Amino acid sequence: MERLQKYLAECGIASRRKCEQLILDGKIKVNGTVIKNLGIKIDPDKDIVEYDGRVVAKVQHNIYIMLNKPTGFITTVKDQFGRPSVLDIIKIKDRIYPVGRLDYNTSGLLLLTNDGDIANKLMHPKHEIDKVYIAKIRGIPDDKDLDRFRNGLLLDNRLTAKAKIEILKKINNDALVKIVIHEGRNRQIRRMCELIGHPVMTLKRIKIGDLELGNLKVGQWRYLTGEEVQYLKNL
């Protein structure tokens, strides 16, 4: 017996957290009955689980992909405005989903997988996995601005965790900065930069934990190496 949300994640439906929301939203059936209880356990050998009108089964093999996401693409499967999704770039038969999000105007390293446990590890705040970004921001922050950013800013009535920021170079009257955070709040870096008075002009993620974008070109993707997959499993 195993928890329904864990089973759904292992079937490649979504991350475990997202699967919990699907259950709460009444999108999952077990043996023909809609389930809205997160505590339910199922027997994969006997119970029939359905999502979106189809029976789901465990993934036979796990897939791990790194994409250099271009701007102008969303990281959700569907969009009410009809904007292109990162899944339009990666044309494979297997069902995969993005791990976390990069907003529409942000580029860079995005992981996609059908391994719900790995996705859950990467997104859960308790693991404090560093994410590294390069941003061009308007104006040049002084030491006071940088210290405010590093020590935490109030977003949604809650302080952000301590972060890192350093100026890499000055471009006319603007600055290129390196930012390291381990949280994943909605548009967090953009909002933090706005709060210190230096809004983001461009934003690119270059690293998640030990996984680096390297020389992967914009719009290109590749499968993770065995060493990279093992790193994720050891988190």
Mind telling me the catalytic residues?
103
Helix, strand, coil proportions of the chain in percent (round to 5)?
25, 30, 45
List Cβ neighbours of 30 (8 Å cut-off, separation of 6 or more).
Answer: 4, 40, 42, 47, 48, 49, 50
Residue 104's SS3 state is: coil
**Other C-beta atoms lying within 10 Å of the C-beta of residue 200:** 21
In this structure, the strands spanning 200-208 and 107-113 are parallel
